[in-house]
C-alpha cells in the first residue's frame, strides 16, 4: 500500500524535496511516542494516587480514624474492667477465701482460653477482622472471669452458712467495753518487762481499766479454767472450739465457773490487779491450736476498718506493759 509522501522545502535548492521514511525509522518514532505517553500517564497516575484523594477516600479515611478512636476507647474501658475484676479476684483469694479456709482459685482456671477458635472464624472475613477478633476474645475472657467470680462468691456464701456456728465461737470482740479505744495499753510482741526491765515476749494485749470493770467472753464457749494461776493471778480460760481458746488474767473477781457454757458478751468477771501486775488492767490472750496469737486480729465484730487501724497503731506503739 502506497504511503502518502512527505515533503520539505529546501531553502538552497528552492524546491520541495520528498522525505523518505524507512520502515524502522517509523517503528522507532512510534515506539518513542508510545513510551513517552506511557511514562507521562504513569507519572500523572502516581501524582493522582499520592496527592489527590477522591471524596469517597476522604470519607473512608475519616471513618477509619473515627473507628480507631472508638476502638481505643473501648480498649481503655475493657482494661479498666479487667483491673476492677483483678482487684476483686485478689481480695477473693487473699481475704475472703482465706477467712473461710478455701483454696485460692488457680490463675489457669480464671483465665482458661476458649477451646477452639471456630467462634472467631466468622469474624475473620470481616473488614477490621483483627480488631473484631481481639475485642471478642477479650470480652469472652472477661465474661468467663466474671462468671467464675460469681461462682466463688456462691461457694463462700455456702461456707459462711456452714461456718455460722464457728463465727459465733471465734473470739471477735474486745474483752472490755472500749468503744473509744482509750483502754489499749500494750499489744502482743516483744516488750520491756515492767518488773525485770528486760525484753520479753508479751503474749497478749493489755487493757487498762478501773478495778471492777466488767470483762466479757469474746466468743461462745465452755469455761475451762477459773481460778488462781502463778503470775496471771485470778484468771479465766475459755475453750471456744475450732482450735481457739482465750485467757483473761489479773482479775479482781471471777464470776464464771469451770464447765459453764458462755455466750459472746457474757460477763465472766471483773478487772483487777492480781498476780504479777503493776496496775489494774486486763491481760487478754488468744490461743489457736495451743499457741498464743496476736489478739489484734480477733476484734472484727467490734471494730470498723478505721478503728482497727487505730488499734494497730496503739498496740504497736504503746510501750507500757502491765504484764
Ligand atoms: Zn499483759
Residues 219 and 129 in one domain: no
Among 264, 92, 72, residue whose Cα is nearest residue 168: 264
Among 138, 77, 141, 84, residue whose Cα is nearest residue 107: 141
Residues 154 and 188 in one domain: no
| pLDDT for residue 252 | 97
CA of residue 322 to ligand 1 center, whole Å:
6
Residues 306 and 190 in one domain: yes
* Phi-psi sector, 277: left (phi>0), alpha (psi -120 to 50), beta: beta
Residues 193 and 273 in one domain: yes
How many domains is the chain built from? 3
CA of residue 321 to ligand 1 center, whole Å:
6
Q: Residue 270 sits in a domain of what CATH number?
A: 2.70.70.10
CA of residue 203 to ligand 1 center, whole Å:
7
The answer to whether the CB of 157 falls within 8 A of the CB of 99 is no
> Residues with beta carbon < 5 A to ion ligand 1?
204, 206, 283, 323
Say how far apart CA 170 and CA 220 lie, in whole Å: 7
Residue 60 domain-assigned (yes or no): no
Which helix (H) or strand (E) element contains residue 90? helix 55-91
CA of residue 234 to ligand 1 center, whole Å:
13
CA of residue 276 to ligand 1 center, whole Å:
9
CA of residue 70 to ligand 1 center, whole Å:
63
CA of residue 289 to ligand 1 center, whole Å:
20
CA of residue 282 to ligand 1 center, whole Å:
7
The answer to whether the CB of 300 falls within 8 A of the CB of 269 is no
Q: Give the largest CA-CA distance in the chain.
A: 153
Residues 85 and 195 in one domain: no
Residues 199 and 309 in one domain: yes
Say how far apart CA 299 and CA 160 lie, in whole Å: 18
DSSP H helical ranges for the chain: 23-51, 55-91, 97-99, 107-110, 118-124, 129-162, 164-169, 305-317
Q: Which residue has the cell 471483773?
A: 270
φ, ψ (nearest 5 deg) of residue 275: 75, -155
Residue 260 domain-assigned (yes or no): yes
CA of residue 283 to ligand 1 center, whole Å:
4
Residue 266 domain-assigned (yes or no): yes
CA of residue 317 to ligand 1 center, whole Å:
15
CA of residue 284 to ligand 1 center, whole Å:
7
Q: What domain range includes position 205?
A: 184-317
CA of residue 323 to ligand 1 center, whole Å:
3
Residues 126 and 228 in one domain: no
Residue 69 domain-assigned (yes or no): no
* The last residue of a domain, from among 130, 162, 194: 162
CA of residue 192 to ligand 1 center, whole Å:
11
Per-residue H/E/C for 28-65: HHHHHHHHHHHHHHHHHHHHHHHHCCCHHHHHHHHHHH
| pLDDT for residue 246 | 98
CA of residue 85 to ligand 1 center, whole Å:
43
CA of residue 232 to ligand 1 center, whole Å:
9
Residues 297 and 241 in one domain: yes
Residue 68 domain-assigned (yes or no): no
Residues 88 and 136 in one domain: yes
Residue 168 domain-assigned (yes or no): no
Residue 173 domain-assigned (yes or no): no
CA of residue 260 to ligand 1 center, whole Å:
25
Residues 89 and 45 in one domain: no
The overall pTM is greater than 0.75: no
Residues 217 and 148 in one domain: no
CA of residue 271 to ligand 1 center, whole Å:
13
Say how far apart CA 223 and CA 236 lie, in whole Å: 7
φ, ψ (nearest 5 deg) of residue 88: -60, -40
CA of residue 242 to ligand 1 center, whole Å:
24
Residue 177 domain-assigned (yes or no): no
List the chain pLDDT tens, one digit each, 323 residues.
455 667 778 888 788 777 666 777 888 888 888 899 888 888 888 887 777 777 888 888 898 888 888 888 888 999 999 998 888 888 888 777 877 777 888 888 887 766 556 777 777 777 777 877 888 888 888 888 888 888 888 888 888 777 788 889 999 999 999 988 888 888 898 888 888 888 889 999 999 999 999 999 999 999 999 999 999 999 999 999 999 999 999 999 999 999 999 999 999 999 999 999 999 999 999 999 999 999 988 998 888 888 888 888 888 765 678 88
The answer to whether the CB of 285 falls within 8 A of the CB of 292 is yes
For the chain, the first-to-last Cα distance in angstroms comes to 132
User: What is the DSSP code (8-state) at residue 297?
Assistant: G
Task: Tell how many helices (H) and how many strands (E) occur in the chain.
Answer: 8, 14
CA of residue 297 to ligand 1 center, whole Å:
16
| pLDDT for residue 268 | 98
The residues near 53 (Cβ < 8 Å, ≥ 6 apart) are 61
Residues 115 and 11 in one domain: no
Amino acid at each position: 500500500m502506497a504511503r502518502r509522501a512527505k515533503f520539505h522545502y529546501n531553502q538552497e535548492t528552492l524546491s520541495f524535496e520528498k522525505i523518505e521514511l524507512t520502515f524502522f525509522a517509523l517503528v522507532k518514532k512510534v515506539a518513542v511516542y508510545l513510551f513517552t505517553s506511557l511514562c507521562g500517564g504513569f507519572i500523572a497516575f502516581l501524582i493522582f494516587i499520592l496527592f489527590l484523594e477522591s471524596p469517597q477516600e476522604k470519607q473512608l479515611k475519616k471513618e477509619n480514624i473515627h473507628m480507631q478512636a472508638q476502638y481505643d476507647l473501648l480498649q481503655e474501658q475493657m482494661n479498666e474492667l479487667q483491673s476492677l475484676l483483678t482487684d476483686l479476684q485478689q481480695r477473693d483469694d487473699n481475704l475472703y477465701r482465706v477467712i473461710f479456709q478455701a483454696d485460692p482459685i488457680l490463675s489457669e482456671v480464671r483465665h482458661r482460653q476458649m477451646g477452639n477458635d471456630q467462634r472467631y472464624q466468622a469474624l475473620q472475613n470481616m473488614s477490621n477482622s483483627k480488631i473484631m477478633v481481639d475485642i471478642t476474645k477479650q470480652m469472652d475472657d472477661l465474661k468467663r472471669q466474671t462468671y467464675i467470680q460469681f461462682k466463688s462468691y456462691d461457694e463462700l456464701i455456702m461456707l459462711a452458712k456452714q461456718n455460722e456456728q464457728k463465727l459465733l465461737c471465734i473470739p471477735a470482740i474486745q474483752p472490755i467495753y472500749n468503744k473509744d479505744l482509750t483502754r489499749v495499753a500494750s499489744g502482743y510482741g516483744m516488750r520491756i518487762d515492767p518488773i525485770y526491765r528486760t525484753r520479753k515476749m508479751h503474749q497478749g494485749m493489755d487493757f487498762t481499766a478501773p478495778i471492777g470493770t466488767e470483762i466479757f467472753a469474746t466468743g461462745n464457749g465452755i469455761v475451762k479454767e477459773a481460778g488462781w494461776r502463778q503470775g496471771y493471778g485470778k484468771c479465766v480460760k475459755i475453750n471456744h472450739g475450732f482450735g481457739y481458746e482465750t485467757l483473761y488474767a489479773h482479775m479482781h473477781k471471777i464470776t464464771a465457773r469451770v464447765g459453764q457454757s458462755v455466750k459472746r458478751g457474757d460477763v465472766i468477771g471483773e478487772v483487777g490487779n492480781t498476780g504479777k501486775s503493776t496496775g489494774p488492767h486486763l491481760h487478754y490472750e488468744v490461743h489457736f491450736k495451743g499457741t498464743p496469737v496476736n489478739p489484734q486480729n480477733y476484734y472484727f465484730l467490734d471494730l470498723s476498718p478505721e478503728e482497727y487501724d487505730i488499734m494497730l497503731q496503739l498496740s504497736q506503739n504503746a510501750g507500757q506493759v502491765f504484764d
